[in-house]
């Protein structure tokens, strides 16, 4: 899935009922990182199938469906998470903050604060293999619910993610895409990019395939939460004169009721 410039493999690991964890592996150094640990078993099975051993565990945020497997998986691995959430995360070996660059699996990994779903939620961006781990911030055709942050915070976080290179592969935390697709179509029924994407999503789900990861350029064309500043989309929503944040907040509120 990642490009050929870095010796990196990435594996999607379905966990619980609708979560995703991700394994990142450097073929040259043998290092293997896990992003989020919803539960240990499927991750251990995936590691065994590949013959990989964990060297790092990256945590995105404190919700149980992203950290409950950490204690069982952490032996021999560094556990990395947000300094500002250290009080409610498993014990951290490395604490990081927005703007930090750490080496994971031999590649530079940039930390972005993407608060909104929670305050302290971070994303990890690996420019070289063009991967971004966004968990419950930017999701396939959606974004996380606002449990702790404001609409303004989430909109700012999504703009940060939107400004990554458009070939970036978005590795998000849940298989919510079919519901997100129905919601997106309810707002944006004439968007041809969206219509053809939804056909692909329905085919993937019918075949039992994940719809995660997704491509950032496709999210930019089809994800309603990334388009709150698009004048044409604002007009479609009947909000041509509203601020970007107000449009984002309205889309989020409509999704919560959908």
Q: Is 121 in the site for Zn ion (CB under 5 A)?
A: no
Which is closer to Fe ion, CB of 65 or CB of 218?
A: 65
Alpha-carbon span 258 to 252, nearest angstrom: 10
**DSSP notation for 119-186:** TT-EEEEETTTTEEEEETSEETTEE---SSS-HHHHHHHHHHHHTS-TT-EEEESB--HHHHHHHHHH
Q: Which residue is nearest to Zn ion (CB)?
A: 63
Residue 63 CB, nearest approach to Fe ion (Å): 5
**Which stretch in 21-29, 60-68, 183-191, 230-238 sits in contact with Fe ion by CB under 5 A?**
60-68
Residue 33 near residue 57, CB atoms below 8 Å:
yes
Residue 67 CB, nearest approach to Fe ion (Å): 10
Q: Is 136 in the site for Fe ion (CB under 5 A)?
A: yes
Alpha-carbon span 157 to 11, nearest angstrom: 25
Binding string to Fe ion for residues 68 to 107, with x set by CB under 5 A, is what? ----------------------------------------
User: What is the size of the binding site for Fe ion (CB under 5 A)?
Assistant: 3
Among 25, 63, 125, 252, the residue binding Zn ion under the rule CB under 5 A is 63
Q: Is 175 in the site for Fe ion (CB under 5 A)?
A: no
Residue 66 CB, nearest approach to Fe ion (Å): 6
**Which stretch in 18-26, 130-138, 161-169, 244-252 sits in contact with Zn ion by CB under 5 A?**
130-138
DSSP assignment, residue 257? H
Helix spans in the chain (H): 41-50, 64-67, 70-73, 151-162, 177-187, 192-206, 216-222, 231-236, 244-257
Q: Is 65 in the site for Fe ion (CB under 5 A)?
A: yes
Asked if the bond preceding 132 is cis, omega within 30° of 0, the reply is no
**Which stretch in 166-174, 197-205, 221-229, 243-251 sits in contact with Fe ion by CB under 5 A?**
166-174
Alpha-carbon span 15 to 183, nearest angstrom: 24
What residues are paired with 110 via a beta bridge?
101, 125
**Which stretch in 50-58, 160-168, 172-180, 184-192 sits in contact with Fe ion by CB under 5 A?**
172-180
SS3 state of residue 62? coil
Q: Is 136 in the site for Zn ion (CB under 5 A)?
A: yes
Give the residues lining the site for Zn ion (CB under 5 A). Answer: 63, 136
Binding site for Fe ion (CB under 5 A): 65, 136, 173
């Amino acid at each position: 899935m990642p490009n050929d410039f870095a010796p990196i493999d990435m594996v999607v690991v379905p966990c619980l009922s609708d979560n995703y964890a991700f394994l990142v592996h450097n073929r040259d150094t043998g290092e293997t990182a896990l992003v989020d640990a919803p539960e240990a078993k499927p991750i251990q099975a995936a590691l065994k199938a590949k013959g990989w051993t964990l060297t790092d565990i990256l945590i995105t945020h404190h919700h149980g469906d992203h950290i409950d497997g950490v204690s069982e998986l952490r032996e021999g691995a560094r556990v990395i998470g947000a300094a500002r959430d250290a009080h409610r995360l498993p014990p951290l070996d490395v604490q990081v903050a927005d703007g930090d660059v750490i080496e994971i699996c031999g590649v530079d990994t940039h930390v972005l604060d993407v608060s909104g779903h929670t305050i302290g939620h971070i994303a990890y961006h690996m420019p070289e293999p063009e991967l971004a781990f966004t968990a419950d911030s930017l999701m396939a055709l959606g974004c996380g619910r606002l449990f702790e942050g404001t609409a303004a915070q989430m909109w700012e976080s999504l703009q940060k993610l939107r400004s990554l290179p458009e070939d970036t592969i978005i590795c998000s935390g849940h298989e919510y895409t079919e519901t997100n697709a129905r919601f997106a179509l309810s707002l944006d029924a004439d968007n041809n990019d969206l219509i053809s994407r939804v056909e692909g999503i329905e085919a993937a789900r019918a075949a039992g395939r994940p719809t995660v990861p997704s491509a950032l350029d496709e999210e930019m064309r089809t994800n309603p939460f990334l388009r709150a500043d698009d004048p044409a989309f604002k007009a479609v929503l009947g909000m041509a004169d509203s601020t970007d944040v107000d449009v984002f907040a309205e889309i989020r509120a409509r999704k919560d009721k959908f």
